[in-house]
Chains A and B, each alone.
Chain A
Amino acid sequence: MSPVVKLLAQRIALGLLLLFLVSILIFVGTIILPGDVAQSILGQSATPEALANLRRDLGLNEPAVTRYFAWLFGVLQGDLGTALTSGQDIATQIGARLGNTLFLAFWAAVISVPLAIFLGLLAVRYRDRWPDKLISGVTLASISVPEFVIAYVMIFFVAVKLRWGVSVATINDSMTLGEKLYAIALPVAVLTLVVLAHMMRMTRAAILNVMQSAYIETAELKGLTLFTIIRRHAFPNSIAPIVNVVMLNLAYLVVGVVVIEVVFVYPGMGQYLVDHVSKRDVPVVQACGLIFAAVYIGLNLVADVVSILTNPRLRHPK
Chain B
Amino acid sequence: MADTLLEIRDLRIEATVYPPGERPQDIVIVDGVSLALEKGRVLGLIGESGAGKSTIGLSAMSYGRGGVRLTGGEILLNGREIRKARGAALRDLRGHEVTYVAQSAAAAFNPSKRLMEQVIETSLWHGICGRAEAEARAVTLFAKLGLPDPETFGHRYPHQVSGGQLQRAMTAMALCPKPDLVVFDEPTTALDVTTQIDVLAAIKEAIRDTGVAALYITHDLAVVAQVSDDIMVLKDGKTVEYGPVDQIINHPREDYTRALVSVRSMDHPEKAEEVEPVLTVDHVTARYRGTHFDVLKDVTVSLQPGHTLAVVGESGSGKSTLARAITGLLPPTKGAVHFAGRTLAPALSQRSKDDLRELQMIYQMADVAMNPRQTVGTIVGRPLEFYFGLRGEEKRKRVQELLDQIEMGEGYIDRYPAELSGGQKQRVCIARALAAEPKLIICDEVTSALDPLVADGILKLLLNLQEQKNVAYLFITHDIATVRAIADSIAVMYRGEVVRYGPKASVLSPPFDDYTDLLLSSVPEMRIGWLEEVIAHRKMESAGH
Mark A residues whose CB is within 8 Å of B. 213-215, 217-225, 228, 233, 236-237, 310, 312-313, 316-318
A316 and B157 within 8 A (CB): yes
- In the bound assembly, the distance between CA atoms of A225 and B91 in angstroms comes to 7
Give 11 A-B pairs besides A215-B107, A215-B110, A223-B90 with Cβ atoms closer than 8 angstroms: A214-B107, A215-B108, A220-B63, A222-B95, A222-B125, A223-B126, A224-B91, A237-B110, A312-B111, A312-B157, A318-B160
**In the complex, what's the smallest C-beta–C-beta distance from A218 to chain B, in angstroms?**
5
A312 and B125 within 8 A (CB): no
Instruction: Indicate if B397 sits at the interface (CB-CB under 8 A).
Output: no
Residue interface mask B440-469, A partner, CB < 8 A = 1: 000000000000000000000000000000
**In the complex, what's the smallest C-beta–C-beta distance from A206 to chain B, in angstroms?**
15
- In the bound assembly, the distance between CA atoms of A310 and B121 in angstroms comes to 22
Residue interface mask B80-96, A partner, CB < 8 A = 1: 00000000001111111
Q: Provided the pairs A213-B107, A217-B65, A222-B122 are in contact, do residues A313 and B91 lie with their beta carbons within 8 angstroms?
A: no
A223 and B93 within 8 A (CB): yes
Residues in chain B near residue A218, CB distance under 8 A: 100, 102, 108-110
Instruction: Indicate if B112 sits at the interface (CB-CB under 8 A).
Output: yes
Q: Provided the pairs A214-B102, A215-B110 are in contact, do residues A312 and B159 lie with their beta carbons within 8 angstroms?
A: yes
**In the complex, what's the smallest C-beta–C-beta distance from B410 to chain A, in angstroms?**
43
A318 and B112 within 8 A (CB): no
B100 and A221 within 8 A (CB): yes
**In the complex, what's the smallest C-beta–C-beta distance from B298 to chain A, in angstroms?**
31
Residues in chain A near residue B112, CB distance under 8 A: 236-237, 310, 312
B94 and A233 within 8 A (CB): no
Instruction: Indicate if B4 sits at the interface (CB-CB under 8 A).
Output: no
**In the complex, what's the smallest C-beta–C-beta distance from B302 to chain A, in angstroms?**
41
Point out the residue from A215, A222, A223 that lies within 8 Å of B111, measured CB to CB.
A215
In the assembled complex, 6 residue pairs joining A and B whose CB atoms fall closer than 8 Å, in A order, are: A214-B102, A218-B110, A223-B92, A223-B126, A224-B95, A312-B111
Top 9 A-B pairs, shortest CB-CB distance: A222-B95, A223-B94, A214-B107, A223-B91, A223-B95, A215-B110, A218-B108, A312-B112, A222-B122
Q: Classify the secondary structure of A's interface with B.
A: helix
Residue interface mask B42-61, A partner, CB < 8 A = 1: 00000000000000000001
- In the bound assembly, the distance between CA atoms of A224 and B123 in angstroms comes to 11
- In the bound assembly, the distance between CA atoms of A137 and B370 in angstroms comes to 38
- In the bound assembly, the distance between CA atoms of A310 and B111 in angstroms comes to 11
Residues in chain A near residue B159, CB distance under 8 A: 312-313, 316, 318
- In the bound assembly, the distance between CA atoms of A218 and B160 in angstroms comes to 20
A221 and B63 within 8 A (CB): yes
B125 and A233 within 8 A (CB): no
- In the bound assembly, the distance between CA atoms of A136 and B93 in angstroms comes to 38
- In the bound assembly, the distance between CA atoms of A236 and B118 in angstroms comes to 14
Instruction: Indicate if B104 sits at the interface (CB-CB under 8 A).
Output: yes
A221 and B94 within 8 A (CB): yes
Q: Provided the pairs A218-B102, A312-B159 are in contact, do residues A224 and B108 lie with their beta carbons within 8 angstroms?
A: no
* B98 nearest in chain A by CB position: A221
Q: Provided the pairs A223-B94, A316-B160, A318-B159 are in contact, do residues A214 and B122 lie with their beta carbons within 8 angstroms?
A: no
- In the bound assembly, the distance between CA atoms of A37 and B90 in angstroms comes to 75
- In the bound assembly, the distance between CA atoms of A225 and B125 in angstroms comes to 10
- In the bound assembly, the distance between CA atoms of A312 and B95 in angstroms comes to 26
Residue interface mask B275-316, A partner, CB < 8 A = 1: 000000000000000000000000000000000000000000
Residues in chain A near residue B93, CB distance under 8 A: 223
- In the bound assembly, the distance between CA atoms of A233 and B125 in angstroms comes to 14
A214 and B61 within 8 A (CB): no
- In the bound assembly, the distance between CA atoms of A237 and B61 in angstroms comes to 26
Point out the residue from A213, A215, A223, A310 that lies within 8 Å of B122, measured CB to CB.
A223
Residues in chain B near residue A214, CB distance under 8 A: 102, 104, 107-108
Point out the residue from A220, A228, A233, A317 that lies within 8 Å of B110, measured CB to CB.
A233
* A313 nearest in chain B by CB position: B159
- In the bound assembly, the distance between CA atoms of A310 and B125 in angstroms comes to 26
- In the bound assembly, the distance between CA atoms of A225 and B121 in angstroms comes to 13
- Among A219, A220, A223, residue most surrounded by chain B Cβ atoms (within 10 Å): A223
Residues in chain A near residue B61, CB distance under 8 A: 221
Residues in chain A near residue B121, CB distance under 8 A: 222, 224
Residues in chain A near residue B113, CB distance under 8 A: 233, 236
B residues 360-419 touching A (CB-CB < 8 Å): none
- In the bound assembly, the distance between CA atoms of A221 and B107 in angstroms comes to 14
- In the bound assembly, the distance between CA atoms of A43 and B290 in angstroms comes to 58
**In the complex, what's the smallest C-beta–C-beta distance from B454 to chain A, in angstroms?**
27
- In the bound assembly, the distance between CA atoms of A220 and B122 in angstroms comes to 11
- Among A213, A215, A217, A310, residue most surrounded by chain B Cβ atoms (within 10 Å): A215
- In the bound assembly, the distance between CA atoms of A240 and B109 in angstroms comes to 18
A223 and B125 within 8 A (CB): yes
- In the bound assembly, the distance between CA atoms of A213 and B61 in angstroms comes to 19
Residues in chain A near residue B94, CB distance under 8 A: 220-223
